[in-house]
């Protein structure tokens, strides 16, 4: 089905088996702030490396899997099948970074991240700038061989796990004043302070603190690419991540449908298994139909990217896939919770966890409203026939 090759199917099976090994730890993690037991975490990371599932998005020369976009989607789809972000350990370092990184940056930050020894985070969003990244107020100014960074960043995911991060700011001086630039900062770095770590709806071991950057000095060698390149890197990352968010939503929806179907077959109410009640059947049928539509769309979009589709067309495809898959998964989680009845409202239930966790998929990496804006802009420019 879907024209998957033998290699694709083999990679998909490997990823599925790996993720299946994490599912039994979901409830324990939910009760423990999203943390896996230390030994399980260690063993799983080495299993992931042995199975060749780390950094599937990175070139082989840098130690990555060198996978096609479709293959990356297949792996991340499996990652989405387990709650509490337990399979996030199958890292996807920033692939946009490789072509612009200096030799020094590759050796110091990228290679260790590809093999999972280092972890990165992204400090872009601010209190007054989320969807509108251009509104950021963080600043960078050159002083001799250094840049001085200032600003307050929100929702910096994985900061508690990370060893380094990207910081996006506007240049205050020089010929690129007013333009965006991206910098690398080590963790810890003097002047970077956790303002607070808010609690969020999901229970995962990757926190999202608010960080203050107060006269943080980084060597000029920490500038990524050219001054003025900051926004282009952010857009590249969004395109990739939107494909991957969509993939994880497919995995979540499949797991929910399987779990809800299995429950509906054995739960008896009004004298028969609830799967024989037509209102329950409708919820399952709608969910499966929408999953099929979302999967067909994402696989087609990923294949088009592998076939060299124009970058702007890829942006539109990524937005359509993320929009549809995240909204579909939200509907599926809501129906699954309903099928489980009172049990579905308990934290030990898979539908309850996904119902909370999937909500953010409509917000991060561009909200559903922003995806619609991008899709309609491309429609106006290119016409429907050239997009779908
Ligand atoms: C759990 C979590 C983790 C995150 N991790 C990171 C991270 O690691 N690094 C990072 O930099 N950021 C991160 N983010 C930030 C995330 O990318 C932003 O929250 C998101 O882009 C939305 O920005 P905002 O929250 O400021 O909402 P706003 O931009 O203020 O939007 C508010 C509402 O207005 C709507 N809206 C805004 N603009 C328009 C428009 N032009 N047309 C129509 N409607 C519009 C939005 O869709 C939304 O409904 C994270 C967020 C969350 C919740």
pLDDT digits (tens, 9 = 90+) for 117-153: 999 999 999 999 999 999 999 999 999 999 999 999 9
Average pLDDT of the chain, as a whole number: 97
Partners of 384 in beta bridges: none
Name the pLDDT band for 238 (thresholds 50, 70, 90): very high
Is 367 touching ligand 1 by the criterion CB < 6 Å? Answer: yes
Q: Which residue has the higher pLDDT, 236 or 286?
A: 286
Among residues 166, 182, 180, 186, the alpha carbon closest in space to that of 122 is found at 166
Return the best residue to mutate from 137, 231, 361, 364 for the ligand 1 pocket (most ligand atoms within 8 A of CB): 364
Task: Say what the pLDDT of residue 234 is.
Answer: 84
| Residue 388 in this model has a pLDDT that exceeds 90 | yes
Residues 238 and 294: their CA atoms lie apart, in Å, by 19
Chain segment 102-115, per-residue pLDDT in tens? 999 999 999 999 99
Cβ partners under 8 Å of residue 317, min gap 6: 301, 304, 305, 309, 387
CA atoms within 13 A on the CB side of 50: 8
Distance 127 CA to ligand 1 centre (A): 10
Stated as kind and residue range, the H or E segment containing 122 is: strand 120-123
Nearest-atom index, ligand 1, CA of 158? 8
Q: What is the DSSP string of 179-227?
A: SEEEEEEESS-TTEEEEE----SS--S----EEEEEEEEEEGGGEESST
pTM above threshold 0.95 = yes
| Residue 280 in this model has a pLDDT that exceeds 90 | yes
For range 60-87, the mean pLDDT: 97
Partners of 168 in beta bridges: 182
Which backbone phi and psi does 47 adopt, to 5 degrees? -65, -40
Return the best residue to mutate from 363, 375, 377 for the ligand 1 pocket (most ligand atoms within 8 A of CB): 363
Task: Say what the pLDDT of residue 380 is.
Answer: 98
Task: Say what the pLDDT of residue 11 is.
Answer: 98
Distance 326 CA to ligand 1 centre (A): 15
Kindly state the DSSP code that residue 109 receives in the 8-state scheme: I
Quickly count: other Cβ atoms within 10 Å of residue 220's Cβ.
12
Q: Is the Cα torsion angle 259, 264, 266, 269 positive or negative in sign?
A: positive
CA atoms within 13 A on the CB side of 223: 19
Token pair recorded at residue 60: 């082989």
Distance 248 CA to ligand 1 centre (A): 19
For range 83-112, the mean pLDDT: 96
Task: Say what the pLDDT of residue 12 is.
Answer: 98
Among residues 355, 331, 329, 341, the alpha carbon closest in space to that of 274 is found at 341
For range 363-388, the mean pLDDT: 98
Residue identifier of the C-alpha nearest atom 48 of ligand 1? 367
What percentage of the chain carries pLDDT values higher than 90? 97
Chain segment 9-46, per-residue pLDDT in tens? 999 999 999 999 999 999 999 999 999 999 999 999 99
Is 94 touching ligand 1 by the criterion CB < 6 Å? Answer: no
Tell me the Ramachandran region of residue 366: left when phi exceeds 0, alpha when psi lies from -120 to 50, beta otherwise: left
Radius of gyration of the chain (CA): 22
Task: Say what the pLDDT of residue 317 is.
Answer: 98
Residue identifier of the C-alpha nearest atom 17 of ligand 1? 364
């Amino acid at each position: 089905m879907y024209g998957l090759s033998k290699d694709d199917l083999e990679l998909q099976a490997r990823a599925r088996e790996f993720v299946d090994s994490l599912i039994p730890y979901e409830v324990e993690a939910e009760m423990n702030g999203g943390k896996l037991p230390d030994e399980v975490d260690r063993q799983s990371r080495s299993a992931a490396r042995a199975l060749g599932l780390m950094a599937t998005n990175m070139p082989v020369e840098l130690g990555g899997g060198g996978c096609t976009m479709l293959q990356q989607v297949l792996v991340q789809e499996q990652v989405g099948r387990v709650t509490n972000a337990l399979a996030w350990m199958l890292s996807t370092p920033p692939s946009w970074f490789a072509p612009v990184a200096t030799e020094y940056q590759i050796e110091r930050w990228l290679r260790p991240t590809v093999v999972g020894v280092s972890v990165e985070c992204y400090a872009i969003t601010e209190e007054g700038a989320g969807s509108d990244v251009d509104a950021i107020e963080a600043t960078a100014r050159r002083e001799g061989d250094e840049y001085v960074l200032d600003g307050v960043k929100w929702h910096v995911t994985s900061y508690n796990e990370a060893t380094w991060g990207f910081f996006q700011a506007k240049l205050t001086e020089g010929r690129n004043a007013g333009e965006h630039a991206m910098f690398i900062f080590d963790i810890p770095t003097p002047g970077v302070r956790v303002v607070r770590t808010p609690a969020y709806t999901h229970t995962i071991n990757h926190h999202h603190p608010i960080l203050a950057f107060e006269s943080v000095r980084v060597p000029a060698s920490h500038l990524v690419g050219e001054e003025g390149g900051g926004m282009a890197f952010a857009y590249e990352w969004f395109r990739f991540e939107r494909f991957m968010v969509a993939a994880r939503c497919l995995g979540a929806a499949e797991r929910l449908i399987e779990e809800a179907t299995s429950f509906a077959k054995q739960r008896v109410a009004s004298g028969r298994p609830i799967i024989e009640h037509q209102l329950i059947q409708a919820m399952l049928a709608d969910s499966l139909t929408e999953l099929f539509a979302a999967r067909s769309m994402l696989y087609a979009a990923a294949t088009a990217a592998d076939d060299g589709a124009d970058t702007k067309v890829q942006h539109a495809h990524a937005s359509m896939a993320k929009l549809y898959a995240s909204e579909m998964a939200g509907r599926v989680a809501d129906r699954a919770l309903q099928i489980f009845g009172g049990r579905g409202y308990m934290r030990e239930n898979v539908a309850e966890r996904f119902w909370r966790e999937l909500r953010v998929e409509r917000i991060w990496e561009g909200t559903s409203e922003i995806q619609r804006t991008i899709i309609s802009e491309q429609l106006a420019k290119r016409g429907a026939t050239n997009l779908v």
